[in-house]
Amino acid sequence: MVAFTRSIPQTLAAFGYLNLFNDVGCKLTIFCFRAFRGLSISLTCMLCVYQAVAISPATSRLAPLKISIPKHLQYIIIFLYVLYYSTSVTTALNAVSSLFNNTIPPYTFNLEYCFVVGKEYFVYISMSFGVMCRDLLFILSMIVMSGYILRLLYHHGKKMKNILSSDNSQKGRRAEAKASRAVVTLVILYIVFFGIDNIIWVYSLTISRVALLISDIRDFFATLYTSVCPIVVITTNPKVQRKLKLVKMKKEAQPTESSTHTM
């Protein structure tokens, strides 16, 4: 949805397709992009917290959450949807498809196909920093929980060295190493993409008119961590890998079966 509501219109505008939307279309597109962008961060954070709680030992302070989180999971998801939908309304209402006399007023984000007009500087700055702090809270929570997961995996690996035989221990270490690399990769991607996105965002707040190139670069990184990170989660999932292997084996078996029938 993030790619659909931001990357595709941005690409079409870069190739010269202007006036893609009217005012209503601009408001809806901006609203969906901001809501789904935030949900990609918060839901991934929730997944990370859920995994950390699930593998935490019974003596951990997180142990009581093993029962309460599954019970309230649907309410947590609903809360996140309401949070990001409600906080995306104001920005969407300020979106327009065209400007009077084609003059870009100060504190306006030019997306080429739409414009987000900031009416008052104080409101513009406070809302921008509010959005950044909201997303940063989820990112920091994800970093803390990912570090906790890596710590548990490390201690588990040390215990397995003393319990299992050498061959089984090597297999266990390989599985733990894969899980650790997946967690580290995901966290690094979020830190890098989110960091670059928000550095450009803060810089944009310090100038009255944002250049198109700066806006394009920020949009690129804003869509990266909402599209690349889920791919990392999927490709590092053992269940998905087993499914892909089964599909590959079925495709390889089909020519053999057809040749047998021909003979």
Residue 108 contacts residue 115 (beta carbons within 8 Å): yes
pLDDT tens string 76-95: 999 999 999 988 888 888 88
Rg over alpha carbons for the chain, rounded to the nearest Å, is 23
How large is the average pLDDT for residues 141-146? Answer: 85
Fold of domain 2-240 = Rhopdopsin 7-helix transmembrane proteins (1.20.1070)
Give the residue-averaged pLDDT of 159-180.
58
Residue 56 one-letter amino acid: S
Determine the Cα angle at 114 with ends 109 and 116, to 5°.
35
Q: How far apart are CA 48 and CA 35, in angstroms?
A: 20
Average pLDDT, rounded, for the chain:
78
**Stated length of the chain:** 263
Quote the pTM value.
Answer: 0.73
The first and second tokens of residue 137, run together, are 């809270």
Which tens digits make up the pLDDT trace of 44-81?
888 888 888 887 887 788 888 888 888 888 999 999 99
Burial of 136 (C-beta count, 10 Å sphere; 0-12/13-18/19+): middle
Position 154 pLDDT exceeds 70:
yes
Per domain, the residue ranges of the chain are 2-240
The whole-angstrom separation of Cα 143 and Cα 64 is 21
Q: Is 226 exposed, middle or buried (0-12, 13-18, 19+ CB in 10 A)?
A: buried
User: Is the model's pLDDT at 114 over the cut of 60?
Assistant: yes
pLDDT band (50, 70, 90) for residue 196: confident
Q: Locate the DSSP E strands across the chain.
A: 95-96, 108-110, 115-117
**pLDDT of the residue at 260:** 54
Instruction: Specify the pLDDT at position 80.
Output: 92
Confidence of residue 208 (pLDDT cuts 50, 70, 90): low
> For residues 180 and 150, what is the distance between their CA atoms, to the nearest angstrom?
6
DSSP SS3 for 179: helix
